[in-house]
Chains A and B, each alone.
Chain A
Amino acid sequence: MAIYKKESRLADALRHVPDLIPVINRFGIRLGVGDGSIEAICSNHGVDAEFFLAMVNTFVNADFFPEQQLRSFSVDDTVEYLAKTDEYYRDVQLPNIERHFAILRQRSSAENESITLLLRFFIEMKGELLTRIDRDATRWFPALRRCSDADVSVIREFVYETSAVEDKLNDLCQFFIVHLRGAYDENLCMAVVSALFSLGRDIRQNDRIRDRILKPIAAARLTRNSD
């Protein structure tokens, strides 16, 4: 069910779900949103309100994913949204987590090897995510936008790509919540875990859009090209 509508106040949505702040940033909307409705604020920023609401509602409600509506949006808009999401992970979220994680390790007891191993696991996952982000930016997204005959092999590559990032992020959270042991700084640990959960939520939505919207559209184009 879509929780927010055009007439909903954007400020209310942000109060209820602060994790939405980076999502609205991807549309060029910054904090200090005022009291306006989602429709009014989108109009002021030249943003398609239907697309904006689709991204906000699928982010907020994991059970809400109107595939038909989402596939009706242009590939360019969807790719642009995912590209902005990638930039956010690369430039903001991953460095932020790594910074706090490194300090957490420094402040944990020398005998607590688990934090060191978890940091190493995070860096491995970060590497995989950055590789995917790089491929999005330099190969896949440009090919999806152009969608010419010359892009067929790259688009096929995108359609068949798989990623273990979401699983590894889940595992990292699981390690902190269930399997962590030894002495560690609790405040820093909470900061790292909160940031990991935020990233996980964002990546889950990102992956749903990639796998259930963009890839089927790309696969359909491959089929049309081969006819």
Chain B
Amino acid sequence: MKTAVIDMEPVRLCGLRYIMQAIDTDMELCPEDADATLRQLDRYDAFIVSAEIFLSHSDFFMIRRDRTLVMTGRPVSSPGFLFSGADSDTVERALAVLISNCRTEAPGAALSVRETEVLRELAAGKSNKEIADALAISTNTVITHRKNISQKLGIRSVSGLSLYAMLNGILQ
């Protein structure tokens, strides 16, 4: 999933990159050259932008609102916004929702690397909390991954997911 991150200071960008990698290793942050990125917005699946960029390109972002996270200078409780001073749990939750919105898709789509990791832990009998601890992500992110896995595979029960893991060599 290609995510355009526009107009963010370098230190914040590093922190964001670290958290995004922890949630889903398939995600790719794009170069932070704002002008170059703005000229090629159609190439990206998701967007993390400052409020100023959002407003100046609102025609583009409003119709992609569910795939856009707007960074704000003050705490905002509405979905789709993220305070730039938020703690890492809040950042992780917001990013997990962004990923989930981009992936309400394709039942039948292949599992991502992170989703496969979650499935392996789930099939081994671990609880959401244990999976979160094992993979260094939040429980909410685990729940999001589980929903995506069920949607992609069309399998609802935990024992069904375990069976899938066994059949596909994910669980030995």
Q: B108 and A168: CB pair below 8 A?
A: no
- Say yes or no: A167-B153 contact (C-beta < 8 A), given A117-B163, A121-B163, A175-B163: no
- Which chain A residue has the least Cβ–Cβ distance from B164? A179
Name the contact of A178 in the complex, choosing from B154, B159, B166 (C-beta under 8 A).
Answer: B154
A interface size (C-beta, 8 A): 17
B157 — which chain A residues lie within 8 A by C-beta? 164, 167-168, 171
B154 — which chain A residues lie within 8 A by C-beta? 174, 178
- Which chain A residue has the least Cβ–Cβ distance from B157? A167
Total A-B residue contacts, Cβ distance less than 8 Å? 42
Assembled-state Cα–Cα distance A114/B166 (Å): 9
Q: A171 and B155: CB pair below 8 A?
A: yes
Name the contact of B167 in the complex, choosing from A167, A168, A179 (C-beta under 8 A).
Answer: A179
B156 — which chain A residues lie within 8 A by C-beta? 167, 170-171
Q: What secondary structure prevails in chain A residues at the interface with B? A: helix
Q: Which residues of B contact A (CB under 8 A)?
A: 108, 153-157, 159-160, 163-164, 166-167
Answer yes or no: A134 CB below 8 A from chain B CBs.
Answer: no
Answer yes or no: A124 CB below 8 A from chain B CBs.
Answer: yes
Name the contact of B153 in the complex, choosing from A168, A174, A181 (C-beta under 8 A).
Answer: A174
Within 8 A of B (CB), among A85-124: 113-114, 117-118, 121, 124
Known: A167-B156, A175-B155, A179-B167. 7 other contacts (CB 8 A): A113-B167, A114-B167, A117-B166, A121-B159, A171-B159, A175-B164, A179-B153
Assembled-state Cα–Cα distance A182/B116 (Å): 23
Interface 1/0 per residue, A157-176 and B, CB below 8 Å: 00000001001101110110
**A and B contact pairs by CB, cutoff 8 A, 23 listed:** A114-B167, A117-B163, A117-B166, A117-B167, A118-B163, A164-B157, A167-B156, A167-B157, A167-B160, A168-B160, A170-B156, A171-B155, A171-B159, A172-B160, A174-B154, A174-B155, A174-B160, A175-B155, A175-B167, A178-B108, A178-B153, A179-B153, A179-B167
Interface 1/0 per residue, A116-141 and B, CB below 8 Å: 01100100100000000000000000
B155 — which chain A residues lie within 8 A by C-beta? 171, 174-175
Please give the distance in Å from B100's CB to the nearest CB on chain A: 21
A118, A121, A170, A171: most-surrounded residue (chain B CB, <10 A) = A171
- Which chain B residue has the least Cβ–Cβ distance from A114? B167
- Which chain A residue has the least Cβ–Cβ distance from B154? A174
Assembled-state Cα–Cα distance A102/B25 (Å): 42
Name the contact of A168 in the complex, choosing from B159, B164, B166 (C-beta under 8 A).
Answer: B159
- Which chain A residue has the least Cβ–Cβ distance from B156? A167
B163 — which chain A residues lie within 8 A by C-beta? 117-118, 121, 171, 175
Q: B164 and A121: CB pair below 8 A?
A: no
Assembled-state Cα–Cα distance A121/B157 (Å): 11
Assembled-state Cα–Cα distance A164/B156 (Å): 9
Please give the distance in Å from B46's CB to the nearest CB on chain A: 28
